[in-house]
Each structure stands twice: as structure tokens, then as C-alpha cells.
Structure 1
């Protein structure tokens, strides 16, 4: 079994049943997702790719906020994509959003979506679940067209929260194979430098989460 197949099988195992209650439960602790969608601001008719789209919850909100945008979603889990397809049908968005199964560390956007670069690419609480997250982040950056933007929101270090809270959160997240990426800012800074972009990065909710954006030059 290849590493991609093994990762897909692992994610399917986790979400085969959890996907049915995913949005209901995650709304209380995946903080900052709506804020990320608000700052996307794709150009009229622009393309937006979410890496690790899960149930398509974020894609639905993005579609509503930016009705002219062309939307794409990638996920390694076939089980989650079943929920994503159902979500899009339920919201009448199946014609506006293209979904594909793929590994965030090595997907071929041209083969999957018919285009290799996007005006906006974002990762919402997905890097903390990807073993090769730095490679996935680099691949995401490489998928942004000149003048475009890469946005990330994910768990922070909980440095400004009580120690007991941070320890309990990490132990609980580990049960779902989730690991906060404390080097996220450094990794995004390196990508911005390498690609000639500018990085904005900040902690939100007392470092419960971190929100970063890279804008590439034209």
C-alpha cells in the first residue's frame, strides 16, 4: 500500500461515521474559519481552492459570500467527500463547486481540476491532520497564481490560555490524529520569502488558533 493509500484509509477509518456529526460538533472549537473566509476576497470570477475540504462546510459559506467565484475542493478521504457531495446538493451548489480526491502533499491540480493555479488557496484546520504538513503547505503555495493569496487557519500553541486547558486540548486532539503545528509561522515565512510574497500572521482567541496569509506579487 502506498503512503497516499495508507493515509486515505486512515482518514476514511476516522471519518466513516464521524462525518455524519462532524459539522455539528466542530462548530464549537474550529474557531477562525469564518474569519478566514471573510478575508479571502477573491477577484470577480476568481478561483478558490480549499485543501482538506472535508464536508464542504467552508465551500458553501465561500460560495454564498462570493457568488461569482469558481470553487474547488480537495480531500484525501472518500468518506468525507461523500458528505461534501451531499452538502453541495443540499445547498444547490453542485454545479459551482468541483470536488476531487487527492493527497495534499502531491496532488496534480491540472489533472484533477483542469487548472494548475488558483487566485486563492486555503487550508482550514487541515494541516494539523497531515503528517507531511510542511510539504502540503509548500504544495499549496505553489498552487497560488502570481498576485494570488494563500490563507491558513489552524490550532495555535494555546500560550495565552491556562496550562490545564492547553494540555487537555492537545490530549483530546491526539485521539483524532490532530497535532497543532507550532512552527506554522516559520514555515509560512519561509514560503513567502522563497516565492517573493508577503506574510501576515497573528494569533487569535488568546493563541487558541493562528491565522496566516501570504500574498504573492504579480
Structure 2
């Protein structure tokens, strides 16, 4: 609990002012988000949970694309959720999208929603920001429906990009408390194995981003 409170305070401090122009700047380097949304394809009447929803940008885009699905966004930052609430209201999709304040690493955080399992779970550039990111992955997998999918996109290790670019990017990301996870692929492989699930993994944009889909067995 103490760790969650500290993380919430940190995220509020980092994004207290940035949230007002976050989406204008992040669209240039949070690459692969729209591909993730295109690949979601939730079933009619299905449920989608985004862990670390931030300003609600993905939720708004996905809800417009899939009007027959219900969306839930969770974030630990009250400041980000306030911005997300405004964006969702402005988009006129308040009946389709619901927000939750809480810790993505808490395996019981969604229990109050009355939804036993979700058809799709999204981690979009959030695992690199969550200190206990492995626990956050495990928490999401706990509430994944049979035959459901976990979709992940995040910063990769920039392996096929110039060394100077990687060094500059990682230094800049550290100023926002962002740490690309070098063990992300192995952790996803282990998670898929534990669940008896399938894993599709690939690198986007010469290693700029890691992109993965875990499909649970039915």
C-alpha cells in the first residue's frame, strides 16, 4: 500500500502540468498505439480494460472504433484521470467508458466493477513507468477471460537504431521516470507459459517499440 501511495504521488507530480499537452507531444514518439487499437477487435458486447490509461486517449479512440464494446480505464494518478474524464465527456462516450483510480499492480483492483473477467487488456507504454511492472502484468492476467487477449506496446531496446539515438532517448526518458524493460519479452514468455497461452511478439520500427499479444486458451 505504501509503495502504491508513493507511486501515485510521483505520477501526479510528473504529470500535474504535462497532462495538459501530453497528447499533443506523445503522438510523435508513443508509436504503435493505433496498431494496438486496430488489433483489439473485441467481441460484440465485450469488455476492454486499459491498465495505466493516462489521459484516456486510447480509450476514446478505441471506443469510437468499437461502439459495441465497453471500456474501463485504470490509472494511479488522480491528475491524469481528471484529464481523462474531460476528454471522455468531450467525446460524448461517457456511457461507454468508465474510469477507475487504483494501482495496476493490485490483483483485486477491479473487483468492485462486478466484471469477473475482461475480453481484452491493454498495456500501452505503461509497463516502462510502473516500478512493479511484473506484478502489474500478473494482475492483468488474473482478470483475463478465457479466449481473451492481453495487448502490450512499449519502448523497446532500440537495437537496430543508432547508438547515439538510444543513449539520448533513454536519458530523456529517465527524466520522466520511464525505464524501457529489457526483460519484457522473457517476462511475457514466462507469463504465457504459466497460463498455457499463446504469445505473438515482434519489434516495431527497428526495435523502437516492443509489441506483443498474449491469447488465453478457451
The aligned residue for residue 13 of structure 2 is 13
Distance in 2, Cα, partners of 1:91 & 1:36: 20
Question: Offset at 1:113?
Answer: 2.1
Distance in 1, Cα, partners of 2:208 & 2:55: 23
Partner SS for 1:120 = strand
The aligned residue for residue 122 of structure 1 is 122
The aligned residue for residue 157 of structure 1 is 157
TM-score normalised according to structure 2 size: 0.98
Distance in 2, Cα, partners of 1:112 & 1:147: 23
Distance in 2, Cα, partners of 1:2 & 1:182: 26
Distance in 2, Cα, partners of 1:108 & 1:138: 11
Question: Offset at 1:84?
Answer: 0.3
The aligned residue for residue 131 of structure 1 is 131
Is the Cα contact below 8 Å between 1:52 and 1:123 reproduced in 2? Answer: yes
Distance in 1, Cα, partners of 2:142 & 2:128: 19
Question: Offset at 1:64?
Answer: 1.1
List structure 1 segments (4+ residues) > 4 angstroms apart after TM superposition: none
Q: Residues 110 and 208 (structure 1 numbering): CA distance in 2 closer, same or farther, change over 3 Å?
A: closer
Question: Offset at 1:110?
Answer: 4.1
Question: Offset at 1:87?
Answer: 0.2
The aligned residue for residue 39 of structure 2 is 39
Question: Offset at 1:4?
Answer: 1.0
Matched, 1:179 2:179: yes
Is the Cα contact below 8 Å between 2:107 and 2:142 reproduced in 1? Answer: no
Question: Offset at 1:107?
Answer: 4.7
What are the Cα deviations for residues 103-125 of structure 1, in whole angstroms up to 9, with x where unaligned? 01115244342213100001000
Question: Offset at 1:94?
Answer: 1.2
Matched, 1:192 2:192: yes
Partner SS for 1:131 = coil
Partner SS for 1:19 = helix
What are the Cα deviations for residues 127-158 of structure 1, in whole angstroms up to 9, with x where unaligned? 00000001111111112111100010000000
Q: Which runs of 5+ in 1 are unaligned?
A: none
Aligned residues: 218
TM-score normalised according to structure 1 size: 0.98
Partner SS for 1:3 = helix
RMSD: 1.0
Is the Cα contact below 8 Å between 1:109 and 1:115 reproduced in 2? Answer: no
